Structure 1
Amino acid sequence: MRNLDLATLRALVAVADAGGVTRAAGFLHLTQSAVSMQLKRLEELLDVQLLDRSGRSIAFTASGDQLLSYARRMVAMNDEAVARLTAQEFAGSLRLGVPHDIVNPAIPQVLKQFNAMFPAIRIMLESCHTRTLKEMFAKGECDIILTTETDVAAGGVTLAKRPLHWIGARGGAAWRQRPLSIAYGRLCTFRPLVVGALDRAGIDWQMLLETDNDSAIHATVSADLAVHTAIEGTEPQQFARIDHAGALPDLPDQLINMYIAQGDVSEPMQQLATLLRARLGEK
């Protein structure tokens, strides 16, 4: 069994990135001869020629290009493992609050990226309604919160402005029935907007389900017993946007806002805010 040495693989990557042995030696804080020796050891171990030394500049052979691809991945995995197990520069926890209806698909991606950047920091995700999140934020119980609102309060910044759409069961007909059956959470910020729009349009409606359980709402809407609403881009996969052709009233656009705790904002908090902006901001 022949084992590749990470130090020699790192030298190979450095030569490729620096464009030569001399520059790679400076990058690695080694002598030129030491780097050349590491490359020679690789060639002897694998019994292949990795570099074409016939010209004035160093070029990789086909075998060298193939090994370089592996070397980059192996060095990157090594550095990631070391960083995860030894990084102590930033530690502790951050509390992030997100309305339950915009958690997917963006937030899991943000959390994964943040964890790779700051493995020693624990993210505590709080998912509930905007009203509750703002109360928690005011009490200092969250470091960063996202909200869905029709405006932005002092201290907040708007990441995106998106339409609010009617959604229902795929191929469903509940939206055609009158009175219109709707299903909402008790504290949902969309609820008063929807009710007001229906009243102004003169459409009879009934609250078929009022609950704090999102699963119950999803089950009711999936069964085509009621309709619901969602911000564009956050619709659950099991639902479809309703093409009502004007049979239902238009709904006001929603703002996705971000609020960051005042005071000494740490680098991890800044990076988390940057990731949220990148994932949820206007494209």
Structure 2
Amino acid sequence: MIRNLDIATIRSLQAVAEYGAVTRAAESLNMTQSALSMQMKRLDDTFGQPILLKQGRGVVLSDFATELLIEGRKLVALNDAILSRFAGVRPEGRLRVGLTSDWLFNKVAQAVRDFRQDNPRIELTINDARSRDLRAQMKRGEHDVILTTEFEAPPGAIHLAKADLAWFGAVAGHAWTERPLPLANSPSCAYYPIGVAALNKAGFDWQQIAGDGGTETWRVLAAADLGITILPRGITQTGLEVIDHGGALPPLPPTWLNVYVADTPARRLAADFTGYLRRAVCEVAAAAAA
């Protein structure tokens, strides 16, 4: 007997994965908790495998459900693509995303790509800016969701992870052994005062190297072994590597990776997108800790 999967149920499974709680997932889909729970029970019965596992006050997907969702997303995306092509369905909505410069790397780019593939009828716009600028832009109503790096976890922030900061220098470089220590960070960078405070506390003789421009300018200077810079671990930058200084340089505090979701009509989409970012950030954090 041929059985068919219900696409609405797969969408519900996707929502549970993103929110980590049946109640919140149901609210995002404008359905009752009991109705969504029944959908999950039907998936249990269909495959003879547990779909959800309790974890603290929330739930997580079982290993089987995680694999199922990978294929389920493709099914949902194909369904939406067919409707868009043959029924002339217009975009369902628009999501405006702001990402801090430090985290526009491969994993986050992949998260954006995955979201677009799974949500082909959503118009997605991306803006890159410093964290403080992103927060100001969100207050002005310019973003639906932003990813920031901050040295605090303020109210309203969704805390994805802590990321350890590290001193970065040119591959096989020697700038970090020079005195005064050449610092290749923009004075407007959020990491600059943190690095300066650490150096001053440790009694280091240091100097700001000459340079002018955006984030990439300072990274180029560091990659040229003209100075050292500060970045979160796990971020791969051509020509740069974490300096293996053996304690010769002062330790740096961790930074928070925060997401803020604005109270806009795109709030549900923004919360969904946050789930994609969370997976990307966790992968990077795990790689950095390895």
Give the secondary structure class of the aligned counterpart of 1:181.
strand
Residue identity over aligned pairs, in percent, reads 30
Q: Where do 5+ consecutive residues of structure 2 fail to align?
A: 6-70
Contact 2:144 2:266 in 1 (8 A): no
1:265 deviates by 4.9
1:225-253 CA distance string (max 9 Å, x none): 01111111113142111011111100001
Describe how 1:207-222 pairs up with structure 2 within 5 A: 207-222=208-223
1:84 Cα deviation from its structure 2 partner: 5.3
For 2:199 and 2:142, the matched residues in 1 are separated by 36
Does the Cα contact within 8 Å between 2:167 and 2:228 map onto a contact in 1? yes
Question: Which residues in structure 2 correspond to 1:193-204 (within 5 Å)?
Answer: 193-204=194-205
**TM-score normalised over the length of structure 2:** 0.67
Distance (whole Å) between structure 2 residues aligned to residue 202 and residue 218 of structure 1: 25
User: Given the two structures, how large is their TM-score scaled by the length of structure 1?
Assistant: 0.69
Q: Which has the larger radius of gyration?
A: 1
Q: 1:82 is matched with which residue?
A: 82
Deviation, 1:81, is 4.9
Q: Corresponding residue for 1:244?
A: 245
Is the 2:165–2:252 contact (alpha carbons within 8 Å) kept by the matching residues of 1? Answer: yes
After superposition, the CA RMSD in angstroms is 2.5
Q: Once the 2 structures are TM-superposed, how far is the Cα of residue 277 of structure 1 from its aligned partner?
A: 1.5
> Residues of 2 paired with 1:78 and 1:144: CA distance?
26
Give the C-alpha shift of residue 103 in structure 1.
1.1
SS of 2:148's equivalent in the other structure is: strand
Query: Is the alpha carbon distance of 1:266 and 1:87 closer, same or farther for their aligned partners in structure 2, counting shifts above 3 Å?
Result: farther
SS of 1:272's partner is: helix
Paired residues, what number?
215
Q: What does 1:60-71 align with in structure 2 at a 5 Å threshold?
A: none
Partner of 2:152: 151
- In 2, the alpha carbon distance for the partners of 1:171 and 1:107 equals 27
Pairs within 5 Å for 1:162-201: 162-201=163-202
Displacement after TM superposition at 1:179 (Å)? 0.8
Mapping of 1:1-283 within 5 angstroms?
Answer: 23-24=1-2, 27=4, 81-83=81-83, 85=85, 88=89, 90-281=91-282
- Offset at residue 271 of structure 1 (A): 1.6
Comparing 212-221 and 188-197, the one that deviates more: 212-221
Q: Are 1:143 and 1:261, in contact at CA under 8 Å, matched by a contact in 2?
A: yes
Change (3 A) 1:122 1:238: farther
Structure 1 unaligned segments of length 5 or more: list them.
1-22, 29-71
Residue 135 (structure 1) shift: 0.8
Q: What is the rounded CA distance, in whole Å, between the counterparts of 1:181 and 1:84 in structure 2?
A: 55
Deviation at 1:262, TM superposition (A): 2.0
Runs of 4+ in structure 1 off by over 6 angstroms are 75-78
